[in-house]
Structure 1
Amino acid sequence: MPSSTLPEVLRIVSRSSPMALAQVERFRAELAVLHPEIRTEVVPVSTAGDRWPGALSALGGKGAFTKEVDAALLAGEADVAVHCVKDVPADRPLPAGTVFAAVLRRDDLRDALVHPDGLTLDQLPSGSRIGTSSVRRVAQLAVSHPQLTCVPIRGNANSRLAKLAAGEADALLLAASGLARIGEQRQISEVLSLEAMCPPIGAGVLALQCREEDTSTIEAVRGLNDEAAWRETTAERMFLHVLQGHCNSPIAGYARAERDGRLSLRGRVFSPDGKSVLDAHEWAGPLDPATLGTSVAVALLRQGARELIDSIPH
């Protein structure tokens, strides 16, 4: 397509946290290589999730991090939104009139432990306080390390690191990719295996959301799409959509696209105390990614996932 049809300027809307702005910089850098002629401007917004100090469930869950971004996009105040996919609710469709135009190559999807003295999870003394507000992490730690205590800690990664330094927790669990994005990977004392800590749906993936009718912007960013990450994200989000989990549901999982085109999806649902663990793992074979996501979710529903999820207050 000739470059004359591409926009001269792309306005990028994003949360205003350091992490979110670092994610925007990655998109800008990749876009500059693909289309050096396109200028970009950043439209930062403050979201309810960033402002709210309490439990996300009181705000209606993850949408707390995307509502204001969606509104700016739909109002035409910006052309593209950069989202970490794990923050975009999958139990309902994207806001009407918007689409994911591309997803960037996936970063590390594992969780990382941050401990001031570099201890690993297994080395932490009994009773150590692990700072995390993630029900997914709390449930899995209850299974693997019941001698540790989880303490709620909210805020962006920078503020959580400050709270750790202030002694509000003995260690933190954070996304390895997030720490790398803000240049704090040196703080990591252990990167946990996917077996030890199953990640959230959409971990490590950045998606570019545009208005459906804005074909010039979609055309401008489409070349940044990573096919493997797109297939993994499609399977994972359909999995979560079929399960209809809420923000207090400890649901975890990840898809993996192999170089030969095969796709697998591991999905897990936990009770908050970790005493019930449902597990399913399937290969797509000829299935498309969305069908694979549906199939793994149905396998968990057969094991009682609906009753487990519905029994958790939210």
Structure 2
Amino acid sequence: MTGYAAVQSSSANQTLDSEATLETNTRLGVEIRSVNSRFLDLSFRLPDELRQAEPMLRELLTAKLKRGKVEIRVALDSNAASSLKAPSPMTLQRLGSIEDTIKSWLPQAGALSVADVLRLASNEDKKPHDHSEELIKLSKKALKDLLSARQREGGRLKLMLTERTAQLRVLSAQAVPLVPLLVEQQKNRFLERWKEAMNLPEKQVLPEVAQDRALAEATAFAIRIDVAEEITRIASHLDEIDRLLEAGGELGKRLDFLIQELHREANTLGSKSTSLEMTHISVDMKVLIEQIREQVQNIE
């Protein structure tokens, strides 16, 4: 099932020492996309600072999602607004020592500028911040929003599937009276052929033996084209589909099986067809069943 959710938060981290103040505004964003798939396929796009959180995110998603191709993106933006009165003497001494060592090996290396010193000093004073807890909190909220979106889509899918099962019931009802009508037509056809073969006048009655033979042929024909069993099984499958849709829960695989059985019965109707009307009913059924199959693959 498809769905989309995005949440973000911002936090301010402040680091203080005796001679410097560093304030960093960090914005953390979580985005989850879900598209249709018969199986659960997770992909993660995380910044390097949050790679260690992937197992926790995977566990969170697999606990709630059973189907779909799901992508989770995490963005971490940090804007450091530094106000440094002066780097500490210890920091300046360390930077000078490092610069002397580099120049001893690379005499042509340029000297550190004031901007370089301020940047390196601020990086040294900056302390790493663990965003894992905040990431999990945001991911739970995004997952909740995603599930709500998928639930709304599920309601629309349920309505569509219910409409298709109702149409299949109408087609099944149309097929039921066709069999007796076809048997009667075939019986009359047999009688007409007997009359033609025996060169009897149009109004003369066939001999009893010929009538019995025509009835026997008509009976055999009726047995061969009888679809009562298929119609009954189609009705049973449709009842079960409606029941599952009403009950909800994890029903994707069970619906897959029922759709396969419906398609099998519709094919049998077509193979037993001896009239254009029955063939049309079989084809219309298979079109509806295929529409249901496409959507059932999206349902958990």
TM-score by length of 1: 0.21
**Bigger helix share:** 2
**Bigger strand share:** 1
TM-score by length of 2: 0.21
Over alpha carbons, which structure has the higher Rg? 2
